[in-house]
């Protein structure tokens, strides 16, 4: 059973060697390694080629050259098109795998032959925040989506071993030209999956690397996230819902809209004006108000829902500023 590991490469000269070594040192050897050169400006590709010549001669390796910088989503999509393995795994080029990552994740496909993908646990290095994996080991049917809506398994695009047939049959792709692409792809997987597994042993090393240039979020960050939230909400309206799933959907929608609004209001980037914030918040709240089938008033997030129903944006702004300060206490 061959696994295709897809690694987009862009300006990671300080990290790409260790990333590749973690792949070459896998205990599972039936691998296809697909590297996508996304036209960076440093020595990443040269270092990758040097590392391959020294340590990767025994592996099947493909190097795809983009004609220009297309972004992470396009690079991952290019890798999917070239993959010939039965399974696909996405690895960011500044992260690493544990030595038994692929072998351990493959074992879940043997234990549960009908799963669409297995989610591994991520170990965060350089930051106290832990990315929790709270789902049971084996999920079927409605459990897959309900656990996702409760944030019990992570939305990262990496650290999932996915059946290639599942990706192709459901045409799962990463949104090109948009930020927050993982929010969309993981949601598509949760919507379509019939059965998954979760591995609570760390298989992926995520290195937290703070942005040294600026801590400000750009307007595009919020515009793209708004687009994806609205897109996901629209899809949720189309699925068949039991009463329990309806409650999880209502909670999820309120939480996503509330956290988007809170993050936008807290943002200190002077390029995002008060007027622009008001415009974006009005858009996302109007989406909520149009969702009558979900009966959002039954949500357990009553406080958040009540705040979002306030008709005056300035009042919402002031209340969420206070809420943010209280939450940090």
Mean pLDDT of 250-274: 92
Give the closest residue to 296 by CA, choosing from 328, 249, 232, 329: 249
Write the CATH number of the domain with boundaries 3-207: 3.90.550.10
The confidence score (pLDDT) of residue 214 equals 40
- Residue range 263-278, pLDDT digits in tens: 999 998 999 999 999 9
Flag whether the pTM goes above 0.75: yes
The per-residue pLDDT of the chain, averaged, comes to: 91
Give the closest residue to 59 by CA, choosing from 31, 20, 80: 31
What confidence tier does 225 reach under pLDDT thresholds 50, 70, 90?
very high
What confidence tier does 326 reach under pLDDT thresholds 50, 70, 90?
confident
Between strands 96-97 and 117-125, the pairing is: unpaired
Beta-carbon count within 10 A of 305 CB: 21
- Residue range 85-114, pLDDT digits in tens: 999 999 999 999 999 999 999 999 999 999
Q: 115 pLDDT exceeds 80? A: yes
- The number of angstroms, rounded, from the C-alpha of 42 to the middle of its chain's C-alpha atoms is 26
The one-character DSSP state at 217 is P
- Residue ranges, comma separated, of all CATH 3.90.550.10 domains in the chain are 3-207
What confidence tier does 329 reach under pLDDT thresholds 50, 70, 90?
low
Between strands 117-125 and 160-163, the pairing is: antiparallel
What confidence tier does 291 reach under pLDDT thresholds 50, 70, 90?
low
Mean pLDDT of 145-158: 92
Q: 253 pLDDT exceeds 60? A: yes
Q: 213 pLDDT exceeds 50? A: no
- Residue range 28-60, pLDDT digits in tens: 999 999 999 999 999 999 999 999 999 999 999
Q: Give yes or no for a contact between 95 and 126, defined as CB atoms under 8 angstroms apart.
A: no
């Amino acid at each position: 059973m061959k696994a295709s590991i897809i690694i987009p490469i862009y300006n990671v000269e300080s990290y790409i060697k260790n990333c590749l070594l973690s792949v070459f040192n896998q205990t599972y050897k039936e691998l296809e390694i697909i590297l996508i050169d996304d036209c960076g400006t440093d020595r990443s590709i040269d270092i990758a080629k040097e590392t391959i010549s020294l340590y990767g001669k025994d592996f099947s390796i493909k190097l795809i050259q983009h004609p220009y910088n297309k972004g992470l989503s396009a690079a991952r999509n290019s890798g999917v098109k070239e993959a010939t393995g039965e399974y696909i795994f996405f690895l960011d080029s500044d992260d690493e795998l544990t030595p038994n990552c692929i072998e351990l994740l493959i074992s879940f496909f043997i234990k549960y032959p009908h799963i669409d993908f297995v989610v591994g646990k991520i170990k965060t290095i350089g930051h106290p925040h832990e990315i929790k994996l709270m789902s049971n080991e084996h999920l079927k049917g409605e459990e897959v989506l309900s656990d996702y809506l409760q944030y019990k398994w992570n939305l990262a695009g990496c650290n999932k071993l996915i059946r290639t047939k599942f990706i192709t049959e459901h045409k799962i792709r990463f949104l090109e030209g948009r930020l927050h692409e993982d929010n969309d792809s993981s949601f598509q997987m949760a919507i379509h999956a019939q059965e998954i597994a979760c591995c609570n042993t760390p298989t992926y090393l995520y290195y937290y690397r703070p942005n040294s240039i600026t801590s400000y979020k750009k307007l595009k960050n919020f515009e793209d996230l708004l687009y994806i939230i609205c897109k996901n909400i629209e899809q949720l309206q189309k699925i068949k819902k039991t009463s329990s799933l309806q409650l999880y959907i209502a909670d999820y929608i309120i939480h996503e809209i509330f956290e988007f609004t809170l993050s936008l209001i807290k943002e200190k980037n002077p390029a995002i004006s008060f007027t622009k914030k008001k415009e974006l918040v009005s858009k996302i709240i109007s989406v909520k108000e149009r969702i009558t089938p979900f009966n959002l008033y039954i949500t357990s997030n009553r406080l958040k829902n009540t705040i979002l129903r306030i008709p005056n944006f300035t009042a919402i702004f002031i209340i969420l500023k206070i809420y943010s300060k209280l939450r940090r206490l």
